Amino acid sequence: MIKEKIFKNLVCLDCHKKLNLDNKKLVCSDCGKIYQIIGNKPYILDNKVKILNQENNDVIINKLKILFKKYPRIFSFLYYTFGASFMGKSAKKAIKNIESDKLIINLGSGIKKINDRVVNIDFYPFDNVDIVSDISRLPFNNNSVDAVINEFVLEHVKNPKSIVKEIHRILKPNGLLYLAVPFVASFHSSPNDYYRWSKQGIRELLKDFKEEEIGIRCGPTSAMLSVFNEWLAIVLSFGFRYLHQILLIIFTIITSPLKIIDYLIYKFPSSQNIVYGFYYIGKKK
């Protein structure tokens, strides 16, 4: 059933009044709006928003994503083995000193489960998702959340500034934000792909927060391989779309051991010029 820590903080999207549990649905205590609970997950979405059950499946890579996301352990193994190399401070480390009774949410969590303290929110009802919701319009009151995690999500939304504004709205004063975004990375739809950020771009995007730490989350070798594998697949596919997808998967697997170089060079100052992604830790002013 819905965790008590989650339930007591949920509010109606329209009037921001408390939601009451009533026979497998949530009902607004003021306007009476109803939100369904399906498979123990509250679906707190605007009526105008269409609930999507899967990502775009018109290319091979997205079909494989959809398949393996049904099996979180397998997907996580593939993601961390063949995806970008991770270094720097993780979200788990960033929140370790936050008291256990505090409300921590992970926006756009996907299948990732950081730990049982973190409430997962996503537009798709993956197994590890606690609340199905649009992260641009969250079911929390102003100044009600202690910490927000948002990892490699903003590049996939049309208006990242609106997401940042929403995060700022729900965070308590001095509440913590952990954000990770790509800088040098090839196109990767989930379901779409719009933006990239340099370190300076991150600071401009998050100028309403007090910066505590910013650093490399995924190294320069991962960035280079992301672009090189894509280029190689383009050249050798001779314009055939599906062959390009197959070759990209093959080259990504073959070259993945090279990512170990990142652990040797990511602390070099010049590595920031071509990293795959940065992380940012800040607090609401």
Q: Are residues 28 and 146 in the same domain?
A: no
Q: Are residues 128 and 189 in the same domain?
A: yes
CA distances from 147 to 21, 101, 164, 171, 283 (A): 25, 12, 13, 7, 9
Q: Are residues 37 and 68 in the same domain?
A: no
47-58 residue pLDDT tens: 655 544 444 434
Angle subtended by helix axes 220-237 and 241-255, to nearest 10:
140
Q: Are residues 57 and 189 in the same domain?
A: yes
CATH of the domain at 256: 3.40.50.150
Q: Are residues 85 and 213 in the same domain?
A: yes
The whole-number pLDDT of residue 237 equals: 95
Q: Are residues 89 and 35 in the same domain?
A: no
Q: Are residues 122 and 142 in the same domain?
A: yes
Query: What is the rounded CA–CA span in Å between residue 33 and residue 93?
Result: 38
The whole-number pLDDT of residue 3 equals: 66
Q: Are residues 14 and 104 in the same domain?
A: no
Q: Are residues 29 and 65 in the same domain?
A: no
Query: What is the rounded CA–CA span in Å between residue 211 and residue 107?
Result: 20
| 196: containing domain | 45-284
Q: Are residues 37 and 132 in the same domain?
A: no
The whole-number pLDDT of residue 223 equals: 98
The whole-number pLDDT of residue 2 equals: 55
Q: Are residues 33 and 111 in the same domain?
A: no
Residue 13 has which token pair?
């999207």
Domain count, the chain: 2
CA distances from 49 to 133, 194, 202, 250 (A): 10, 20, 29, 37
Low-confidence stretches of the chain (pLDDT beneath 50):
1, 51-58
The whole-number pLDDT of residue 48 equals: 56
Grouping H, G, I as helix, E, B as strand and the rest as coil, residue 131 is strand
The whole-number pLDDT of residue 82 equals: 94
For residue 82, the surrounding DSSP H or E stretch is helix 72-82
Q: Are residues 120 and 242 in the same domain?
A: yes
Cβ neighbour number for residue 18 with a 10 Å cutoff:
17
145-163 residue pLDDT tens: 999 999 999 999 999 999 9
